[in-house]
Each structure stands twice: as C-alpha cells, then as structure tokens.
C-alpha cells in the first residue's frame, strides 16, 4: 500500500476554525469518499492529516471555537506539506516579534524540502519569515497593499486567487475567502493525482475560483491622511467623483501647484489622483450593476464616463470581467439572495 501523504495543518490562536477544519475534512476525503458514494465502501485514505501547533494544549481560535492540536510542532518531522490557514490580524498590524516559533518551524521545514501552503492572510507569515523574498505571491485582496508596502521584495499578484512560487514550486498561496478550497484541491492533485482531486470536488460540489479575486475586491481607502490638505480632498472626492475633470477640481481646491498636489496625494494614498478617482467610480459601477437594470452606457455616464467603450475596457482591466459579465454573475446572486430573504 502506498504511504499516505503527510500534511500538517499549522494552527494558531489567530486561525479561523472553518478554514482549518474545512481543509482537514477535504484532505481526509481524498481517496475515501468518492468510492464510498459510488461503490458502497470507502476507499483508502490517501492523506495523513494532523493539526499541529506551537501551543501544546487546547486553545480558542479567532472565532471562539476550541482547537485541539494533535501534535506540537517539535514532534513533526519532515511532513510533505505544511498548510497554514488564515491568520486573523488587522491589515497593517505588525507581525514583527510575533509567531517566532511558527516562523522557525516553517523556515526549517522549507529548507528540508517541505511544501508550504497558505490560505488567505497567512501568506503574511511567509513574508515575515523571509520565505517570499524575490518570489511571486498572493494573499487576500484586503492585505495586498499591506504586503506590498511592508515586504517590497515580494512580487504581489493581488488579482490572482492562487499562486505557485518558490524554489521547486514549493510555496503555494491562495487568496481570500473560500479560495482555500482551490488550494486544497491543488495539493490533492499534486500529491495524490488529478482524478482524486476531481473526486473530492464532485463529492463536495466545489467550483474552481477561475475568475480570481478582482471581481470581489473593492477600494479600501487609506485612513484619513495626516496631510490635512489631501485628507480634505479625499473627503470631497468621495462625494464628487462623477464630475468632469475631478483631478483638476481637487488641485484647485487644494491651493497647491499641480505637481506638488499630485506628489503629496500619491504619498498620502499610495495612488495617483486619477487612479483614486477611477477606483471610486468603478466601485460605484459595480454596485449599480448588481442593483439596477439600466444600460451599461447609463451606468458609465452616472459614474463619470462619457465614453461607454472606454468605461467597459477600464472595468475589464481592473475587475477582470466585462460589465455585462459582472452583472450576470453578481446581479443574479444579489437577486436570488434578496428573493430568498423576502420569501423566507
């Protein structure tokens, strides 16, 4: 009999239990459940999965569920894979001098040939451990700007829901939300075979997140700038982004020379003034596409674009879907959710 693949799930108090135990269940399903449903008896379990931690007693997860580690990290020797679920920290919260035992564990395992996989914000732990220096990476869209700022040597691909990177392609990162499902399937496919991954997907009705993170992301503006002039412009443009020549209007309101204004705005927000305006407009357009049935041209005009063709190209470049495709996917979802709430 083939030796099962050993996957260690690294649990922290900042872990989300749903991701941790969801991954646990899917890994246990590989090879076992498809046979159970189609042939009437379970197949062999292909993966030995254990929950390990730097804490040697039960502890509460981020959402209050008690996690029961099966092994201390010092007891785990050369696992094939270490998976780290998301870590519930605020975007921008420093990881310096935190999780030192876990970072040492990951560095040592990676040096010994282990594949390291992370879900959602846990990629920040790899970056803090220095494992992502010079490599491509992804994380939840809400943490991408933080990763770019705090770890400039990491090549952040925020639009991607899954990135395989590192020496020997042994660093695998999933983006936000339920993309841990994709991560789990990829690992099953890599270590157990594609057919077993497909079997897990069929049993659990899992759809691949092929469109990436872009359609789900929205503008998370930086906090109010310490630069009072730029902060005032941020507040003003939030309510006037649809007007003609918005950047020129902000320059005029600021009382600064145009070059000085653009330099200070970039420093305060991380975006050029025009990028900031586009992001505000496109987020409003996404909301309108979900809620309303008016034409694409009408929506383009409402958010400040006279040329609907330009709007559509810009939307696709930033969101990853055409406006019509976005409406079909998310407008239908909103309607079904609203209808089910009304009839419940």
The pTM of this model reads 0.70
Instruction: Say which DSSP state 331 is in.
Output: I
Q: State whether residue 43 is helix, strand or coil.
A: coil
| pLDDT in 10s for each residue of the chain, 344 residues | 578 999 999 999 999 888 999 999 999 999 898 888 878 888 888 999 999 999 989 998 888 889 999 999 999 888 999 999 988 888 877 888 888 999 999 999 999 999 999 998 899 999 999 999 999 999 988 888 888 888 999 998 887 888 889 998 999 999 877 888 888 988 998 898 888 887 888 888 877 666 666 655 655 555 556 788 998 999 899 889 999 999 999 999 999 999 999 999 998 888 899 999 998 999 899 889 888 889 999 999 999 999 999 999 999 988 888 999 888 877 776 676 556 555 54
Residues ≥6 apart with Cβ < 8 Å to 139: 118, 120, 121, 122, 123, 124, 147, 156, 158, 173, 175, 176
pLDDT of residue 344: 45
Are the C-beta atoms of residues 101 and 54 closer than 8 Å to each other? yes
pLDDT of residue 236: 92
The structural domains of the chain, ordered by start, are 5-215 (3.40.50.880), 228-343 (1.10.10.60)
pLDDT of residue 62: 82
Residue range 253-291, pLDDT digits in tens:
999 999 999 999 998 888 899 999 998 999 899 889 888
Please give the Cα distance from 83 to 5 (Å, whole number). Answer: 13
pLDDT of residue 256: 94
């Amino acid at each position: 009999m083939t030796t099962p693949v050993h996957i260690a799930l690294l649990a922290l108090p900042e872990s989300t239990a749903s991701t941790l135990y969801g991954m646990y269940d899917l890994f246990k399903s590989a090879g076992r459940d498809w046979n159970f449903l189609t042939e009437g008896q379970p197949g062999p379990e292909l993966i030995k999965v254990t929950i390990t931690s730097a804490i040697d007693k039960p502890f509460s997860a981020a959402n209050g569920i008690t996690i029961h580690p099966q092994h201390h990290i010092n007891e785990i020797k050369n696992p094939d894979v270490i998976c780290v679920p998301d870590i519930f920290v605020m975007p921008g919260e420093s990881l310096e001098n935190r999780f030192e035992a876990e970072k040492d564990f990951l560095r040592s395992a990676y040096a010994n040939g282990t594949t390291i996989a992370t879900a959602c914000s846990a990629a920040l732990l790899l970056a803090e451990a220095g494992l992502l220096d010079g490599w491509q990476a992804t994380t939840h869209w809400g943490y991408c700007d933080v990763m770019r700022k705090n770890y400039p040597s990491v090549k952040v691909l925020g639009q991607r829901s899954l990135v395989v990177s590192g020496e020997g392609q042994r660093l695998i990162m999933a983006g936000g939300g339920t993309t841990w499902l994709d991560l789990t399937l990829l690992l099953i496919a890599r270590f157990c075979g594609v057919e077993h991954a497909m079997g897990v997907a069929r049993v659990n009705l899992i759809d691949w997140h092929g469109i990436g993170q872009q359609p789900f992301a929205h503008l998370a503006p930086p906090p109010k700038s310490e630069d009072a002039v730029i902060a005032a412009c941020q507040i003003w443009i939030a309510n006037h982004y649809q007007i003609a020549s918005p950047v020129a209007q902000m320059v005029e309101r600021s009382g600064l020379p145009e070059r000085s204004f653009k330099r200070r705005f970039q420093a305060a927000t991380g975006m050029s003034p025009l990028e900031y305006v586009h992001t505000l407009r496109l987020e409003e357009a996404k909301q309108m596409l979900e809620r309303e049935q008016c034409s694409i041209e009408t929506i383009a005009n409402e958010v400040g674009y006279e040329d609907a063709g330009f709007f559509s190209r810009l939307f696709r470049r930033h969101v990853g879907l055409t406006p019509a495709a976005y409406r079909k996917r998310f407008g239908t979802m909103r309607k079904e959710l609203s209808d089910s709430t009304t009839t419940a």
